[in-house]
Structure 1
């Protein structure tokens, strides 16, 4: 027995769903999931079925024979027009003969012989074969006076009677010319997350809108519309740290030293060409000087461009596994959550996820092993140098994501706590609005919220310890957050360390350099 999924497009008549269920039952299929919501689409039903492979093929054959099985997502054209009919019996009947022969679906009719235009009928049609539009209109023009009001073959004008088809057309603008089979599987996943969130009393239309907003944000802010807020911090006379905040997603950090350049996290894959252009603007574009990338965790906005760079990426073994899995919750207590799994597919697809392929894995250690050296509450799993600075890789507790790693330079007071510590007040309204989408679609961006709170408290305690150690040097620990500004801890609050400048694609930066 195997699990299969399919989409059924059924007539909106009594007994239609019963007829489909009878076919599935006849071939001993077991329905594991079904979702139909008349508020969304009056015809589309999503099924997941467990059956023997040969039985599933019979189910598909039977459903296809009666016209219930949706096997493709052909672009449906929409046309709306005025047609002026003669005032005689059978006039509408004759018009409908033409419409029926073109295999068009009527979406709108409006006529009243006591109205302002008693001779005029308003007609709206969906036509599955766009090539039939011109033939139909030419036929009608030869017989009737016709005024074309709308003519669309892009899917923009489709109404909610074919909601999922309209959604598929919008998705194509984010993911390119995907095969119908792939797009239909993707619709299955999106429907699944909608089913889960609807059970949590969230509006299904709002869910779809937020999914589309993710893709729209990423596409709208790449290319010519790309920008970043940039902080430049001189760590030593010959070492500078750049913090790049892209429009969406996590921060990208770059150390510029006399001997090499080293990156911590890479941002989304969709921003890779924009990132290269930005590095060139800051005279950091010689990628031959980039020697290593250190990854904090497996989210697409932190390592989704790592595979684009021709250098090794250093990461935790568990992080490596998550980059190969279908769910960001892999390895956590929440790993079976469908919201986490589907969101991972959505964001990886929309953001052109290109995870690290040239990898170097940190040694595996046991978090509970009492013999393991620790820095505060966190095991030290590796050491490395950037320029002449000594760093430690600290294994996180897994509150935000399983396999997460923090990077610390104790002597200089540099801590990279990824998304476990964020200066939310430093986020722009646009970035906050984008981040809220992930929180909405997963209900929480942390795979274990309780553990995330414990982890953040432990990190703030570690930061306070480092501040005490640096007090004699008149320095404070620089907190290089996963999102938002590089900050310091001041009376228990995160405060922006330096001002930033705005880089805009094709334009000069705004504001002064902060060196």
Structure 2
């Protein structure tokens, strides 16, 4: 069994040795250590492997010696920039004011730049917002003061500016639990370590994650405003398309008094989506709830646990079962992608679906074609042929094609980028960071799209993509 310990150690000789002895005494093996003094001189991430009992004993000992005290007790660090005249004693008045308010300084940096001013950057530790507001009011009487967003800072300053501040900010926006907060902290560190080892600056990545989270937090309650349209596809069948501000589309096939959903969007908006479902479908609470999932991405599978039956192709069903059993799906099998997918799952409150609800449709495909026939699937008066992609977007991706009624559900093999609501277009700008790019293999996905359109016959088609509005596609009989 493996476990990650988030430890806070004193900054003196032998601190890590003391922790190592705790693990060794309990027959626990350390498999990874992550420490960056430039980020935080106290925080150390330790991955360890051992039995459940031995890991607990090691954790108890670490707690006894004070290495697991990770809470900041409500404290926060605000990074401020003071524009001071480049003359002797100019910083003294600011330091005196800081002392009057009994603030601690966690970080300080300044360098002359050849002008008449110096820009002092200071990390100020504060517990009460009102007290900080009063301090800023008085400081601005002395000089210009700017509050710096850590996302746009030139370098990483300290624990509160990065790890704890970053995680607490996201956790507050998305209202996640204490346990989830620790998992978010661990995966943030993993992502940071990967970026650091590859020589990539982390700021654009983590700025995108923050902005992604901000978009999710704004699209809630009364501000959750999807575009909803209804499309008649046969005498007995309508399709309702729900295009949310964030996440995948959800389509509802309404045929002969029965309902089949196609994909479900993110889990964080469960209440908002259920409210929409109840408005659109009479007696929603009492009906049999079935869903077909095009592929096993977080933004398509968030509400699967709300349904009685989940229809999925062979490989998608396998991926969902893997997530339920050990929390690792296809995307997380790549260690470079794993921390980002885990962060996305935490922020969107993702829950894996019970494997007993999953019903496999179609067959396992073999071959190297970009789009392979996998079987058939009927609902109401619609008769779909199932095609599985080669994994350009994600292994197990499926397309449904009804040749009689000219209806296509393409998942993310095709998305209608040209017809999105404004919020969805903005979301798609940041989503690839946490979805580890839109496509697993962009070149293969392009071949899949080409193969999809090549399979459509003459006539007018309605293509329901994973994102964006329905596409009307007309193919002349040539």
Q: What TM-score, normalized to structure 2?
A: 0.73
Return the index of the structure with the highest Cα Rg: 1
2:294 aligned residue (268, 287, 296): 296
Distance 1:346 1:107, change over 3 A: closer
Q: In 2, distance between residues paired with 1:369 and 1:208?
A: 39
Task: Please name the residue that 1:380 is paired with.
Answer: 374
Q: Does 1:412 align with 2:409?
A: no
1:207 aligned residue (205, 216, 227): 205
**Within 5 Å, which residues of 2 pair with 1:119-268?**
124-126=124-126, 148-149=134-135, 160-162=158-160, 163-176=162-175, 178-179=177-178, 181-268=179-266
2:315 aligned residue (318, 332, 346): 318
Q: Does 1:487 align with 2:474?
A: no
2:341 aligned residue (333, 341, 344): 344
Distance 1:68 1:356, change over 3 A: closer
Secondary structure of 2:227's match?
Answer: strand
Q: CA deviation at 1:184?
A: 2.1
Secondary structure of 1:190's match?
Answer: helix
Secondary structure of 1:302's match?
Answer: coil
Q: Does 1:44 align with 2:43?
A: yes
Secondary structure of 2:439's match?
Answer: coil
Q: In 2, distance between residues paired with 1:390 and 1:72?
A: 56
Distance 1:285 1:209, change over 3 A: farther
Q: In 2, distance between residues paired with 1:329 and 1:450?
A: 29
Q: In 2, distance between residues paired with 1:243 and 1:31?
A: 50
Secondary structure of 1:307's match?
Answer: helix
Distance 1:286 1:175, change over 3 A: same
Q: CA deviation at 1:289?
A: 5.5
Q: Contact 1:229 / 1:245 at 8 angstroms: preserved in 2? A: yes
Q: In 2, distance between residues paired with 1:423 and 1:18?
A: 53
Q: In 2, distance between residues paired with 1:236 and 1:222?
A: 34
Q: CA deviation at 1:54?
A: 7.4
Distance 1:167 1:239, change over 3 A: same
Secondary structure of 1:424's match?
Answer: coil
Q: Contact 2:231 / 2:240 at 8 angstroms: preserved in 1? A: yes
Q: Deviations over 1:364-411 (max 9, x none)?
A: 6331289xxx9x94223232132x222223333233222222211111
Q: In 2, distance between residues paired with 1:69 and 1:59?
A: 11
Q: CA deviation at 1:51?
A: 5.4
> Which protein, 1 or 2, shows the higher relative CO under an 8 Å CA cutoff with sep ≥ 6?
1
Q: What TM-score, normalized to structure 1?
A: 0.68
Secondary structure of 2:206's match?
Answer: helix
Secondary structure of 1:206's match?
Answer: helix
Secondary structure of 1:254's match?
Answer: strand
Q: Deviations over 1:124-179 (max 9, x none)?
A: 5456xx8xx99xx9xxxxxxxxx95279xxxx999845232223322332453623
Distance 1:277 1:76, change over 3 A: same
Q: In 2, distance between residues paired with 1:186 and 1:462?
A: 43
Distance 1:448 1:33, change over 3 A: farther
Q: Deviations over 1:300-323 (max 9, x none)?
A: 2222113224x4222224323423
Q: Does 1:478 align with 2:458?
A: no
Distance 1:268 1:433, change over 3 A: same
Q: In 1, distance between residues paired with 2:40 and 2:70?
A: 17
Q: Which runs of 5+ in 1 are unaligned?
A: 81-91, 111-121, 138-146, 468-474, 493-515
